[in-house]
A = this chain, B = another copy of it.
Amino acid sequence: MAISDFLFGRPLATSEERAEHIGVSAGIPIFGLDALSSAAYGPEAALTLLIPLGLAGVHIILPISAAIVALLVIVYFSYRQTIEAYPHGGGSYTVASENLGAGAGLLAAAALMIDYVLTAAVGISAGVGALISAVPSLHAHTLPICLGILALLTLINIRGVRDAGAAFKLPTYLFIGSLLIVIAVGLVRAIMGAGHPAPVVAPPRLPAATEAISLWLILKVFASGCTAMTGVEAVSNGVMAFRDPTVKNAQKTLTYIIALLIILLAGIAFLCRAYGIGATDPNSPGYESVLSQLIAAVMGKGVFYFVSIGSILLVLALSANTAFADFPRLTRAIAINDYLPHVFLLRGRRLLYSYGIYALVFLTGSLLVLFGGVTDRLIPLYAIGAFLAFTLSQAGMVVHWKKNQGPKSRGRMIVNGVGAFATGITLLVVLVAKFVEGAWVTALLIPVLIGIMLSVRRHYRRVHDETRASGPIELTDLLEPIVVIPVDRWSRITEKGLRFALTLSKEIRAVHVDCEEDAESVCNMWEANVAGPLRAAKLAVPELVLLTSPYRFVVQPLVDYVLKVEAENDGRHVAVLVPELVVRHWYQNLLHNQRANVLKLALLVHGNQRIMVINIPWYMEHNTDVKVLQKAAEEKEKAKAS
């Protein structure tokens, strides 16, 4: 087995595509990791903003979580419908551009691309950050660990969707299982304790209130909590990855993901209030994450605690994987419409859009390196893209139902309309609440990206227009090309080139660039080896052109001559024969001047539509002894003589 097959898996034939499709149980880790893992940081982000309120903050988290859950339910029904209406993948980009026009589509595309790259970078560095707060001695190795996880994710994803699903099942279900157990046990204890259960390990005391509740604060808390919703659109984008019945399987996967997320968010909020658990200052030495306090309070710090915390770290780091699953599909959808390079359409050996993965890895790696593996500062940028995409997608669906009138379309229009309205309002809240903190960067990046996509499209249109044939093949004026061949000393290489030229055209110009003032010897060589024999055989003799080169440049006079011939012979093609020695080892190229390559490049740069370059390679006989060759040549001559 080849090493590449071992690392990346054997190549998959196009016909094997169906076998690569996944079911619900693999779909949840692949498309749900991003959404589910946000249960680990959404409540934490919200509670951190509530620290100044003291105990009141822990009380207010419940209504805010309820609002987020309500939003989730609305979004769920919206996306359920989208999946059904777009069984070939209904990401925000597709829905927006099909229903709201190309402009809205590009807006969604730019927002989503930024969102996915941030998902990958923030996911990895959040997981590594959690790991480092558990094992501080690893602090010095933050960036290498981040890049190592990125490499691991890349490797797993290059193997294909199915292998990725298998690899992520265990940590995902461990994470979900342990949190569900904590919530269930906590609920029972809370009910038995009449709303005030006794913690096994007491959480740190909440600080005294230093601020009063304000609407602005509540808006900011809501905006922070909404980061928990990113990743919800992933399933709708990847419908095609599911096995038959595609739509049902995708919908089922979405249902499970949203239901689990709601249970986790609601359960965490309820238990925080019941146990009086708030966030601790992340910059203080006594920092402990909300989930760590919660699990310790409900279950104590035993084996269960460590297994759960371990699964949280893992799931955070792996949440980046949702970006891997969706980004290549997104770039493909954009590239189909000519807004991104067409390489994003190519499927690699494992049936994936490999270049999308490469682009994501490159961008994520750059972000990680740029920020040294600590991407906290990027979190404010994060929710904008997601909610912009949500809103455009829902709004697009409203138009979709309007265009495709049916028995249920009115009700569906209302569902998507409510979704668009709710996510739109949320977008505004997030934008206002986080603009100064960094959301402005996103607001600036989006038009830049749109500008790039528009100019990519313009280029493709231009190429298409210029190369579009106006009809079937034109059969007039099929004239032989004028062949130009550079000659120097007489050798088998020169002979081979000239022989090939003789088969192509009756009009041949052999050109010698004279730097060393050896014109006479070239003329003699020509007469003896070419002109003489051709005249004897009553064949046309090619013209020998001598170009003087006082400054010893070789390529320039040749290119000038070719351009002159082209200009003087309207309607004719000029074929330039370039003999080239092909050596056995690359380093042997150092021993030969690269004039052939320089000439080819110069002709490409200065040439035009009517100038063709013909490469005449001369291969060194790799495994044959020179003496054997000479003997063969001698025998051939003998045979001729006799």
Contacts and interface: CB of A to CB of B under 8 A. Distances in A.
Interface of A: 11-15, 341-343, 346-349, 456, 459-463, 465-475, 478-481, 490-496, 498-500, 502-504, 515, 517, 528-530, 532-534, 537, 539, 550-552, 573, 575, 581-582, 588, 590-593, 600, 604, 607-609, 611-621, 626, 629-630, 633, 636-637
A496 B636 CA distance: 41
A521 B532 CA distance: 53
Contacts of A609: 496, 617-619
A492 B466 contact: yes
Contacts of A590: 341
Which of A472, A474, A502, A607 gathers the greatest number of chain B CB atoms within 10 Å? A472
Say whether chain A's binding surface is mostly helix, strand, loop, or mixed: mixed
Pairs of residues from A and B, 3 with the lowest C-beta to C-beta distance, nearest first: A13-B550, A472-B529, A613-B615
B614 A459 contact: no
Given A495-B473, A591-B460, A626-B465, A500 B533 contact: no
A478 B499 contact: yes
Given A472-B533, A582-B604, A608-B619, 6 more contacts: A348-B552, A460-B591, A462-B626, A468-B491, A475-B539, A479-B503
Contact of A633 (B342, B470, B607): B470
Given A472-B530, A551-B13, A581-B463, A613 B614 contact: yes
23 contacts: A13-B550, A14-B515, A14-B551, A342-B592, A459-B591, A462-B620, A463-B592, A466-B492, A466-B629, A467-B581, A470-B492, A472-B532, A472-B533, A473-B499, A474-B495, A475-B534, A475-B537, A479-B503, A481-B504, A607-B617, A611-B617, A613-B614, A613-B615
Nearest to A539: B475
A341 B614 contact: no
Given A473-B529, A615-B613, A467 B491 contact: yes
A621 B611 CA distance: 15
Contacts of A491: 467-469
A102 to B, nearest CB: 18
Contact of A456 (B456, B591, B618): B591
Given A609-B618, A619-B608, A492 B468 contact: yes
Contacts of A503: 478-481, 573
Contacts of A608: 619
Given A472-B528, A537-B475, A620-B466, A550 B612 contact: no
Contacts of A618: 467, 609
Nearest to A458: B626
A609 B492 CA distance: 11
A492 B473 contact: no
Nearest to A633: B470
Given A14-B517, A462-B626, A473-B533, A615 B612 contact: yes
A469 B494 contact: yes
A35 B588 CA distance: 37
A119 to B, nearest CB: 25
Contacts of A496: 609
A493 B612 CA distance: 13
A427 B345 CA distance: 70
Contacts of A617: 604, 607, 609, 611-613
Contact of A614 (B499, B575, B619): B575
A600 B637 CA distance: 35
Contacts of A12: 551
A462 B624 CA distance: 11
A614 B612 contact: yes
A532 B529 CA distance: 45
Contacts of A604: 582, 615, 617
Contacts of A498: 473
Nearest to A549: B14
Contacts of A620: 462-463, 466
Contacts of A475: 502, 533-534, 537, 539
